[in-house]
Amino acid sequence: MLAKIHYHSRKYTIDLAKPLDISIPMRASKNNVNAWYIDPPRIEAVVDGEWVAKVSEGASVNFNDIHFNPHGHGTHTECVGHIVEEVHSINENLKQFFFLAEVITVAPEKYMEDRAISRKQLQFALGNKKRDAVIIRTIPNTNDKLSRQYSHSNWPYLLEDAIKYLVKKGVKHLLVDMPSVDREEDGGELLGHNAFWNTSGKLRMDTTITEMIFVPNTVKDGTYFLNLQIAPFENDATPSKPILYAIQP
């Protein structure tokens, strides 16, 4: 199902029948991907006295409560409300959902006691390309990212200068396959988040960070259209389902 898109005065063709899902599904399991020292998500049937809301137990419907944290339990998209005192909702601030995006693969480098992504690496990967969204796949890229327990793992992150470079290039939507663009334990500085949303100046209200994606190795580096699908939560963050579409020749 081919669709033609007019974007920034150019025409592109994508095949809507060939979506590339780069989200991680949420499961009620201890093997669900997890970060920030919290328990696994729970998906449980409502219980009212002796009545259990499961068809398998005699109810007419399945009727579940879901308990989760968007930041710690899977792919999520967040807005500036994540780090400022004033309440800002991702649902109120993300109003456009299709973006021209660049997928890049980066091997985090040794940085003091950590592994991090530098400005130089991003400059090499992006060159003079101008994209509204940048999707970073880190290597090694193995399927255990779908169930990894990240707490106390000191995952790779982006250096502040690397984030500032992306902001300078006009990147509005940053997607990464780590739990955070920042160091796991940084004393609350959140240098990358603050740089991306420009908290020392005019806030970049219409920009987002999406974390805990998984870009399969079958998805090649290059230019795609990104459909950034979110659940309509009035919250700083929401579970999300970013979908890529290859651009047809």
* Every domain of the chain and the residues it spans: 2-27+71-246
Per-residue pLDDT, 105: 98
Question: What contacts 191, CB < 8 A, 6 or more positions away?
Answer: 160, 163, 182
User: Would you say 33 and 148 are in contact if contact means Cβ atoms under 8 Å apart?
Assistant: yes
Show the DSSP H helices in the chain as ranges.
Answer: 90-93, 119-126, 160-168, 191-197
For residue 39, the one-letter residue type is D
The rounded radius of gyration (Å) of the Cα atoms in the chain is 19
pTM for the structure as a whole: 0.97
Per-residue pLDDT, 8: 86
Residue ranges of the chain with per-residue pLDDT less than 70: none
Which of left, alpha, beta for 54 (phi over 0: left; psi -120 to 50: alpha)? Answer: beta
pLDDT in tens, 104-116: 999 999 999 999 9
Cα–Cα distance, 173 to 207 (Å, whole number) = 6
Per-residue pLDDT, 9: 86
CATH class of 2-27+71-246: alpha beta
β-strands 64-67, 42-45: how paired? antiparallel
